Amino acid sequence: GRVNIIGEHTDYSYGYVMPIAINLYTIIDYEKSDKLVLYSEAYNETKEFDLANIKSKTNSWLDYIIGVYKVMHDMGLNPGPINGKISGNLPIGSGLSSSASLELAIAAALNHTYELKLDRLQMALIGKKAENEFVGVPSGILDQFAVSFGKKGYAIFLDTQTLKYQYIPFPDILQIIVFNTGIKRELANSEYANRKKIVEESLGILKKNSSKEINEKDLDKLPLLHKKRMGYIIRENQRVLMAMDCLKNHDYVSLGKILVEAHRDIATNYEVSSPELDFVVNEALKYGAYGARLTGAGFGGSAIILSGKENSEKIAKKVYQSYTKEFKYKASYTLVEASEGTYVL
Ligand code: GLA
């Protein structure tokens, strides 16, 4: 899976993002076979599928898999079936990219077993296309790129327009705590599409290809709501650059402040936060975190808390205690590491 350190809702206007892959995984244990048969541990069910027949969706978890097959077929690749089991410790629907994780796991498995000779970028793009065109979620490249390119001990700074990236050392003395609010975020898909529509209209009005090309002054040419949303995005792009500098200069206090500023801005001007996410951010700061913010699409899902390694467990416990006192959702937290992306064992 992944968490995005900063650069939220910037990828579908081709701005900057800075995620890490995390050590919560989807695992596919498989062998070559003459039929596609997969068991999902999370859903406790086995599904079979006839690959000669990929037309419509099944409206189940299988769509992420046959979506990847479909995109590969459309590219003229012809991976055969596998028989296997899907398991892992990455929670589904918690804003940690369980869908990109499944897409990339299957892409890597097929790439390896059927010798497709795809590189990491091609696999990330295949995953995105499966998600956009087959599953029908209009997401950007953030999730698939992070899951595909993750590197142990590094954050990834990515320009989502050029797809040029840099690995930025993520130091051992820092800890990222993922705080899962317990609120599933699938329901938010229509809100996500609404945000994306406003952004696309804004790029159209301003005749720009990327939010990176928009400045404060341009915003005056936009209708009020568009101005509010795009104002957030152009400030967020700047914050990604500043956050990268903070990491390079080992300035974690400033990095934390930037994360909090990003959270306040996305809550006020992009309106994808929730009372629960705001609560987590405020509590984390009370107990001595450097910073915290929602991660991923928002509307529930997870927040990240950035702290020093030495007091991370204490902060996580305190936030958990006050959160579960305040809200009834089944929350959880995990201390995660910047980890390797997709690989074949
Ligand atoms: C979801 C999408 C990503 C990105 C984030 C918000 O995770 O899949 O493409 O837009 O939301 O930053």
Q: How far is the CA of 50 from the centre of ligand 1 (A)?
A: 31
Which amino acid does the sequence have at 135? V
CB of 297 closer than 6 A to ligand 1? Answer: yes
CB of 256 closer than 6 A to ligand 1? Answer: no
User: What is residue 169's predicted lDDT score, i.e. its pLDDT?
Assistant: 98
Instruction: With a cut of 90, say whether residue 215 has pLDDT above it.
Output: yes
CB of 236 closer than 6 A to ligand 1? Answer: no
Closest of 246, 251, 262, 220 to residue 7, by C-alpha: 262
Torsion angle defined by CA atoms of residues 320, 323, 329 and 333, in that order, rounded to the nearest 10 degrees: -20
Instruction: With a cut of 70, say whether residue 261 has pLDDT above it.
Output: yes
Taking CA atoms only, the protein residue closest to ligand 1 atom 11 is: 297
Task: Give the active site residue among 34, 50, 63, 143.
Answer: 143
Average pLDDT over residues 10-22: 98
Q: How far is the CA of 142 from the centre of ligand 1 (A)?
A: 6
Taking CA atoms only, the protein residue closest to ligand 1 atom 1 is: 297
Contacts of 78 (CB under 8 A, 6+ apart): 72, 114
Average pLDDT over residues 315-331: 97
pTM comes to 0.97
Closest of 73, 97, 137, 80 to residue 4, by C-alpha: 97
Residue 257 CB: number of other CB atoms within 10 A?
Answer: 16
Q: How far apart are CA 21 and CA 154, in angstroms?
A: 9
| DSSP notation for 22-66 | BS--EEEEEEE-SSEEEEETTTTEEEEE-GGG--S--SSTHHHHH
Told to judge if 143 belongs to the known catalytic residues of this protein, a careful annotator would answer yes
Q: How far apart are CA 342 and CA 240, in angstroms?
A: 24
Q: How far is the CA of 95 from the centre of ligand 1 (A)?
A: 9
Closest of 112, 95, 151, 140 to residue 28, by C-alpha: 112
Between CA 4 and CA 13, with CA 8 as vertex, the angle to 5 degrees is 125
User: What is residue 189's predicted lDDT score, i.e. its pLDDT?
Assistant: 72
Residue among 18, 142, 145, 271 to mutate when testing ligand 1 (max atoms within 8 A of CB): 142
Provide the token pair at 29: 């244990």
Per-residue pLDDT reduced to its tens digit, 171-187: 999 999 999 999 986 65
Taking CA atoms only, the protein residue closest to ligand 1 atom 9 is: 140
Q: How far apart are CA 127 and CA 132, in angstroms?
A: 9
CB of 79 closer than 6 A to ligand 1? Answer: no
Strand partners, 176: 306, 336
Instruction: With a cut of 90, say whether residue 56 has pLDDT above it.
Output: no
Taking CA atoms only, the protein residue closest to ligand 1 atom 2 is: 139
CB of 301 closer than 6 A to ligand 1? Answer: no
Closest of 259, 254, 251 to residue 284, by C-alpha: 259
CB of 128 closer than 6 A to ligand 1? Answer: no
Q: How far apart are CA 138 and CA 197, in angstroms?
A: 10
